């Protein structure tokens, strides 16, 4: 019996919607455990307890807003689609349309380097573009397809994904730390039937957040390494045997290729109009290489 791989891939998109509900459930349980059961009730006690509780609740909400904002952006933002009938632009054609003049503004001689042709999409493939069998289309500077966000992670939403990872790690780590005292007291309070339900919710929130914090730490470290070398998850295999990755422009430039140059927006899932115009990598069709920088 033949197995249709593409039907299986399409099924992963359905699984993604379940993951969104799971994220919402984890956020809900964590919110109830931290704000309502643990620290919300201590806000009116006065003294140091109130100050500590107020600080925890504020930090919790700030991280939660940034987390959800980044999550919504990465879910809804198109990672980057190849224009219809796209083809590589030669150096001569780039000069005719004034590409090199625009490139001089940010110090790079930007050239479209031929990517190839996608037999599935029947269209040209820009550099660093890959076909996603789940989305069934080519994605610009594709990193991977993430079932947690029901979307591909590519040139246009990679920053949002990284911020989502970062803020989720910080939030889950914080929840783990602030619920640790209650978790330690869980086994003693569980004997009291009146507080059994409360203790069970705190226990569940602690275990979930602790597990996610540990797993997310690995992803944060991995993507920090990829970001520092201007590499995607897909390109890790392409780099094997290469002495120096051609897209590695140095840590500062590599960072700006994803987060932009406007420092005030680095921690927010936003781009400045100026960066979108001057940094072609944010649009996903052209990418400066080491030869551009060294020239």
Q: What is the dihedral of CA 255, 261, 264, 270, to 10 degrees?
A: -80
Active site residues: 146
Q: What is the pTM of this model?
A: 0.85
The per-residue pLDDT for range 45-93, each reduced to its tens digit, is: 778 889 999 999 999 999 999 999 999 999 999 999 999 888 876 544 4
Q: How far apart are CA 187 and CA 216, in angstroms?
A: 28
Query: What φ, ψ does residue 81 adopt, rounded to 5°?
Result: -110, 150
Q: How would you label 228-263 residue by residue, b for 16+ Cβ within 10 Å and e otherwise?
A: ebbbbebbeeebeeeeebbbbbeeebbbbbbbbbee
So what's the pLDDT on residue 102?
Answer: 38
Q: What is the DSSP string of 216-278?
A: HHHHHHHHHHHHHTT--TTHHHHTTT-SS-TT---HHHHHHHHH-S-GGGTTTT---HHHHHH
Residue whose token pair is 């936003």: 270
Is 294 a residue whose pLDDT tops 70?
A: no
Going from N- to C-terminal start, the domains of the chain cover 5-82+147-185+199-283
**What pLDDT band is residue 105 in, cutting at 50, 70 and 90?**
very low
The per-residue pLDDT for range 107-156, each reduced to its tens digit, is: 333 333 456 889 999 999 999 999 998 888 999 999 999 988 989 999 99
CB burial of residue 40 (10 Å; 0-12, 13-18, 19+): middle
Using CA of residue 91, residue 95, residue 96, residue 97, what is the dihedral sign? positive
The per-residue pLDDT for range 4-26, each reduced to its tens digit, is: 444 445 555 666 678 888 889 99
Residue 49 token pair? 């307890």
- Pick 112 or 279 by higher pLDDT: 279
Q: Confirm if 143 and 151 have CB atoms less than 8 A apart.
A: no
CB burial of residue 21 (10 Å; 0-12, 13-18, 19+): exposed
Question: In the chain, which ranges are continuous DSSP H helix?
Answer: 5-31, 47-76, 91-96, 99-103, 158-184, 186-189, 196-228, 235-238, 251-259, 273-278, 290-294
Q: How far apart are CA 278 and CA 292, in angstroms?
A: 15
Which residue(s) pair with 124 in the sheet? Answer: 117
The per-residue pLDDT for range 159-199, each reduced to its tens digit, is: 999 999 999 999 999 999 999 988 888 766 555 555 677 88
Q: What does the mean pLDDT of the chain come to?
A: 84
Cα maximum dimension of the chain = 79
So what's the pLDDT on residue 115?
Answer: 60
Mean pLDDT of the region 247-262: 95
Q: How far apart are CA 74 and CA 163, in angstroms?
A: 9
Please give the span between the terminal C-alpha atoms of the chain, in angstroms, as a whole number: 56
Query: What φ, ψ does residue 132 adopt, rounded to 5°?
Result: -95, 120
């Amino acid at each position: 019996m033949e197995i249709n791989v593409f039907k299986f891939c399409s099924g992963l998109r359905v699984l993604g919607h379940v993951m969104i509900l799971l994220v919402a459930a984890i956020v809900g349980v964590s919110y109830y455990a931290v704000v309502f059961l643990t620290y919300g009730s201590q806000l009116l006690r006065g003294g140091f307890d109130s100050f500590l509780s107020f600080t925890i609740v504020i930090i919790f909400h700030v991280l939660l807003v940034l987390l959800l904002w980044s999550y919504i952006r990465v879910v809804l933002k198109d990672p980057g689609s190849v224009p219809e009938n796209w083809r590589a632009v030669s150096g001569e054609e780039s000069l005719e349309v004034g590409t090199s003049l625009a490139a001089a503004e940010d110090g790079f001689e930007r050239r479209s380097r031929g990517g190839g042709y996608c037999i599935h999409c029947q269209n040209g493939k820009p550099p660093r573009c890959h076909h996603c069998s789940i989305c069934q289309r080519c994605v610009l500077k594709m990193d991977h397809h993430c079932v947690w966000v029901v979307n591909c992670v590519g040139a246009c939403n990679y920053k949002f994904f990284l911020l989502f990872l970062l803020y989720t790690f910080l939030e889950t780590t914080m929840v783990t730390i602030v619920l640790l005292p209650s978790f330690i007291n869980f086994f003693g309070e569980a004997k009291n039937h009146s507080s059994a339900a409360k203790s069970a919710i705190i226990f569940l929130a602690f275990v979930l957040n602790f597990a996610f914090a540990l797993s997310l730490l690995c992803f944060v470290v991995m993507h920090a390494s990829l970001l520092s070398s201007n590499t995607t998850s897909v390109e890790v295999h392409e780099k094997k045997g290469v002495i120096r990755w051609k897209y590695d422009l140095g840590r500062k430039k590599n960072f700006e290729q994803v987060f932009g140059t406007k420092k005030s927006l680095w921690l927010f899932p936003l781009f400045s109009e100026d960066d979108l115009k001057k940094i072609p990598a944010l649009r996903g069709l052209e990418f400066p290489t080491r030869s551009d920088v060294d020239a």
